């Protein structure tokens, strides 16, 4: 199994803005990523931390690193990013409530 983890540190009270991007919408069918071969599931986690900050983790599980790479290179995934860039005239600006972001990819060993 292969896991992708994305972490956002945001100002207190703004974790819902990050979660909204990734959570399932009521009444909609499976998202494009959920239909992708090799996709196993995802979790959204929120942690309230001190000093007016919150952390949001998105954990996406794949059957293999190859399945994840196929998603990253897929026309659907690339088109989604291109549409976001068009909406913002190039690189989307980082929202003011985002303090930092981190990304990691891991092979599950047990």
Q: How far apart are CA 7 and CA 46, in angstroms?
A: 10
pLDDT in tens, 5-37: 999 999 999 999 999 888 777 777 788 888 899
Pick left, alpha or beta for residue 14 (phi over 0 → left; psi -120 to 50 → alpha; otherwise beta): alpha
Beta bridge partners of 43: 59
pLDDT score recorded for residue 40 = 96
Burial class (CB in 10 A: 0-12, 13-18, 19+), 79: exposed
How confident is the model at residue 20, as a pLDDT?
87
Structural domain total, the chain? 1
d(CA 89, CA 46): 31
pLDDT at 27: 75
Q: At 53, is the secondary structure helix, strand, or coil?
A: strand
Host domain of residue 45: 2-107
Q: Which CATH number goes with the domain that contains 72?
A: 3.30.70.100
What are the residue ranges of helices labelled H in 55-95? 65-73, 75-87
Per-residue pLDDT of the chain (110 residues; tens, 9 = 90+): 999 999 999 999 999 999 988 877 777 778 888 889 999 999 999 998 888 999 999 999 999 999 999 999 998 888 876 655 555 566 667 889 999 999 999 999 98
Residue 30, both tokens: 């499976």
- Please report the pLDDT score of residue 13 as a whole number: 93
Q: What is the pTM of this model?
A: 0.81
């Amino acid at each position: 199994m292969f896991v992708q983890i994305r972490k956002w540190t945001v100002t207190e009270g703004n974790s819902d803005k990050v979660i909204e991007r990734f959570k399932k919408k009521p009444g909609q069918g499976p998202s494009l990523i959920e239909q992708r071969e090799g996709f196993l599931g995802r979790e959204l986690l929120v942690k309230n931390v001190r000093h007016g900050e919150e952390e949001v983790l998105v954990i996406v599980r794949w059957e293999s690193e190859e399945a994840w790479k196929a998603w990253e290179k897929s026309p659907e995934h690339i088109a989604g990013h291109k549409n976001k860039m068009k909406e913002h005239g190039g690189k989307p600006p980082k929202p003011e409530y985002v303090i930092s972001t981190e990304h990691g990819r891991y092979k599950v060993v047990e």
